[in-house]
Amino acid sequence: MGEMTDRKPVVIVDDVHVEYRVLATGKRAGVADARKLLERSRKLRKVHALKGVSFTAYENDSIGVIGSNGSGKSTLMRAIVGLTPASSGAIYASARPSLLGVGAALLKELSGERNIMLGGLAMGFTREEIEEKFDDIVDFAGLRDFIDLPMRTYSSGMTARLKFALATARDHEILIVDEALAVGDKDFRQRSEERIRSIRDGAGTVFLVSHSMGSIRDTCNRVLWLNKGVLEMDGSPDEVIAAYETSK
Amino acid sequence: MSLADNAAHEGLKRVGARPPFGVYMAEVWRRRQFIYSLAKFRIESENQRNRLGMGWVVLKPMLNALVYGLIFGFLMADSRPPNFVQFIVIGIFMFEFFATTFSNGAKSITSNNALVQSLNFPRMSLPLSAVTQRLLQFLPCVVIMLLLNLIMGAAPKVQWILLIPLIALYFMFNAGVALITARLTVHFRDLSQLLPFVTRLAFYTSGVFFSIERIAPNNETILRIFDLIPLHEFMSIARGLLIDGADYEVNPMYWLYATVWSVLLLTAGAFYFWAAEERYGRND
């Protein structure tokens, strides 16, 4: 499946397993809690979220990740970014992959303008770079008239647009977008899909997690199908999506 | 060829691996604008909805000083040091910087979990930003301290300049404390419940509102112990610089002690914090 190629590998996922310790009540247990609880009862369960996933992503790849809820999509993405440690196996990357998630850096009491500065600095821009990109970000988000208002007054769609515009203002080598395209109206969705394609064309690699097969078909050249923590299929969008849909 | 060999061959690096200390510190330095802006914007954000806005930055410690000054001024009628107003204001303002850094610094990773989980930046930026935020709030207090001294009839002195290195040392000291507690809180969440008591303890043992030299002038053991308490050293030096009179002559060794404390804690804190860089933001 694409192993024999001259293209440069960007992300290599090598037999990655991820296990969570989960209480039978559904609550995640901390390390300290886990030991105590094991002694008292057997309610602690291990959930094997990823069971030996391996694949190689190349530059200019735009990879859709599909699967039903709980199939391990988000876990895989978080492992690629380095936020969830692999229980065994390893993930290698040519650059630090970034998850589209600048939202957490923002302060809702402050204006959109201030937040663009703050979010940009958090992503590693310098002040001058942000000032240069400022107009692009505002226009892409379509927030020209509201940029001086505090973010707490924004609607959820406006907030999501600002976050997406900010996060994609940087030339990411490896970008992971987890369900972000579900937000915003149709017009914005089209613009964001275009933005993702242009990142891919700029020698970047994009992972797109989505339940919208339309978005995946429009933006991806390769699809991974995860099923209960196992990589069920890895191939062209048409082929994998067809197999996924008949399996349901 | 295995995937791991292939990765090494292509020059790919393991995701989430911690960079060497020097590289890491250089990366932190590169993020200084972020550290500063986060600190500044947090202050703004905290005061955004208050009518008096930024006025609270100086009003809060002044009210604190007023309350403590009245209560302890009354309680300690006989053992009050001279120039008690300046004495207590300097004590409270200095202590406030430590106390707020201590609690904010300790929570700087745990309360920003979402941020830590979504963006890649050296995590040390967060505790450093917490200390910077408190420093920015402390600086107007320094101006008030100086004004108060002028109002109370002191003439400006050249040695006030020495406040600058003192504040720099105090900043380093607080940064060291914040780095250590930030990591400890990640390992033991319960620590954040304990912190207020540690702060209380520090309050009563650093001579914020009493002068140990007056209370126990002949108890050598107590005096020697106080010589080694860093907060007491910082406060004594500040009082010595600002307030006139023989009562405020400072043991010059305090400068040495304070410097040693600051350098030691900051270095230890930086190493200690960096060593767990891969650990921050994980859920278990």
Higher pLDDT, residue B74 or B123: B123
> Does pLDDT of A88 surpass 80?
yes
- Average pLDDT value for residue range A59-76: 87
Structure confidence by residue, pLDDT tens digits, B80-99: 788 888 888 899 999 999 99
Cβ-contact A110, B32 below 8 angstroms: no
> Does pLDDT of B265 surpass 70?
yes
Question: Interior CA angle at A166 toward B114 and B120, to 5°?
Answer: 40
State how far Cα A192 lies from the chain centre.
Answer: 14
Q: Give the Cα separation of B268 and B176 in Å (integer).
A: 7
Q: Give the Cα separation of A96 and A82 in Å (integer).
A: 9
Cβ-contact A162, A141 below 8 angstroms: yes
Find the DSSP H helices in chain B.
Answer: 3-9, 21-30, 32-47, 56-75, 84-106, 113-118, 125-151, 163-187, 191-205, 212-215, 220-227, 230-242, 253-275
% of chain B beyond a pLDDT of 70: 98
Please list every residue in chain A whose beta carbon sits closer than 8 Å to the beta carbon of residue B4. Answer: 12, 14, 90, 92
Please list every residue in chain A whose beta carbon sits closer than 8 Å to the beta carbon of residue B16. Answer: 81-83, 85, 91
Higher pLDDT, residue A248 or B1: A248
pLDDT in the model for residue B69: 84
> Does pLDDT of A13 surpass 80?
yes
Burial-class residue A193 by CB neighbours within 10 Å (0-12, 13-18, 19+).
Answer: middle
CA distance B125 to chain A (A): 10
Nearest residue to B120 (alpha-carbon basis) of B12, B1, B15:
B15
The answer to whether A122 contacts B49, with C-beta atoms less than 8 Å apart, is no
Task: Report CA-CA distances (Å) from A94 to A57, A173, A241.
Answer: 11, 8, 29
Query: For strand A44-58 and strand A9-23, is the pairing parallel, antiparallel, or unpaired?
Result: antiparallel
Structure confidence by residue, pLDDT tens digits, B120-145: 788 999 999 999 999 999 999 899 88
- Average pLDDT value for residue range B91-115: 89
The answer to whether A96 contacts B120, with C-beta atoms less than 8 Å apart, is yes
Q: Which of A144-153, A175-184, B207-216 has the lowest mean pLDDT?
A: A175-184
Burial-class residue A22 by CB neighbours within 10 Å (0-12, 13-18, 19+).
Answer: middle
pLDDT in the model for residue A224: 94
- Average pLDDT value for residue range A212-234: 89
Query: For strand A174-178 and strand A205-209, is the pairing parallel, antiparallel, or unpaired?
Result: parallel
Q: Give the Cα separation of A42 and A44 in Å (integer).
A: 5
- What is the CB neighbour count within 10 angstroms for residue B72? 17
Nearest residue to A24 (alpha-carbon basis) of A8, A13, A40, A10:
A40
Cβ-contact B180, B125 below 8 angstroms: no
Higher pLDDT, residue B217 or B106: B106
Q: Which two tokens stand for residue B258?
A: 């304070």
Q: Give the Cα separation of B181 and B185 in Å (integer).
A: 6
Nearest residue to A172 (alpha-carbon basis) of A79, A228, A94:
A94
> Does pLDDT of A102 surpass 70?
no
Structure confidence by residue, pLDDT tens digits, B37-68: 999 998 888 877 777 777 887 888 888 888 88
pLDDT in the model for residue A2: 43
Q: Give the Cα separation of A57 and A74 in Å (integer).
A: 17
The answer to whether A84 contacts B283, with C-beta atoms less than 8 Å apart, is yes
- Closest CB to B14: pick one of A90, A110, A122: A90
Please list every residue in chain A whose beta carbon sits closer than 8 Å to the beta carbon of residue B7. Answer: 9, 12, 14, 90, 92
Burial-class residue A136 by CB neighbours within 10 Å (0-12, 13-18, 19+).
Answer: exposed
- Closest CB to B48: pick one of A92, A99, A109: A109
Coil/strand/helix, residue A40: helix
Structure confidence by residue, pLDDT tens digits, A139-161: 988 888 888 898 889 888 888 88
Q: Residue for token digits 């924004």?
A: A154
The answer, for A85 touching chain B at a CB cutoff of 8 Å, is yes
The answer to whether B45 contacts A110, with C-beta atoms less than 8 Å apart, is yes
Q: Give the Cα separation of B45 and A242 in Å (integer).
A: 50
pLDDT in the model for residue A225: 93
Q: Tell me which DSSP letter residue A179 carries.
A: S
CA distance A247 to chain B (A): 30
Residue of B nearest to A174 (CA): B15
The answer to whether A12 contacts B12, with C-beta atoms less than 8 Å apart, is yes
The answer, for B60 touching chain A at a CB cutoff of 8 Å, is no
> Does pLDDT of B262 surpass 90?
yes
pLDDT in the model for residue A104: 66
Name every residue whose Cβ is closer than 8 Å to that of residue B93 and which is 6 or more positions away in sequence: B61, B65, B138, B141, B142, B144, B145
Residue of B nearest to A106 (CA): B115
- Average pLDDT value for residue range B145-160: 86
In what side-by-side order are the strands of the sheet with A205-209? Answer: A98-99, A174-178, A205-209, A62-66, A222-227, A230-235
The answer to whether B41 contacts A110, with C-beta atoms less than 8 Å apart, is yes
The answer, for B190 touching chain A at a CB cutoff of 8 Å, is no
Q: Give the Cα separation of B122 and B125 in Å (integer).
A: 6
- Average pLDDT value for residue range A182-201: 76
Within 13 A of A93's CA, how many CA atoms are on the CB side?
A: 21
% of chain B beyond a pLDDT of 90: 42
Cβ-contact A21, B284 below 8 angstroms: yes
> Does pLDDT of B223 surpass 90?
no
Find the DSSP H helices in chain A.
Answer: 31-40, 73-81, 112-123, 127-141, 156-167, 186-201, 213-219, 237-247
Q: Which two tokens stand for residue B262?
A: 């600051």
CA distance B209 to chain A (A): 37
The answer, for A56 touching chain B at a CB cutoff of 8 Å, is yes
Q: Which of A57-61, A130-134, B114-118 has the lowest mean pLDDT?
A: B114-118
Nearest residue to A90 (alpha-carbon basis) of B11, B20, B4, B12:
B4
State how far Cα A65 lies from the chain centre.
Answer: 10
pLDDT in the model for residue B38: 92
Cβ-contact A136, A166 below 8 angstroms: no
The answer to whether B12 contacts A94, with C-beta atoms less than 8 Å apart, is yes
The answer, for B119 touching chain A at a CB cutoff of 8 Å, is yes
CA distance A227 to chain B (A): 22
Higher pLDDT, residue A164 or B161: B161
Q: Which two tokens stand for residue A88?
A: 């065994």
pLDDT in the model for residue A30: 55
* Per-residue buried b or exposed e for A200-230, using 16+ beta carbons within 10 Å of the residue's own CB: beeebbbbbbbeebebbebbbebbbbbeebb
Please list every residue in chain A whose beta carbon sits closer than 8 Å to the beta carbon of residue B281. Answer: 83
pLDDT in the model for residue B261: 95
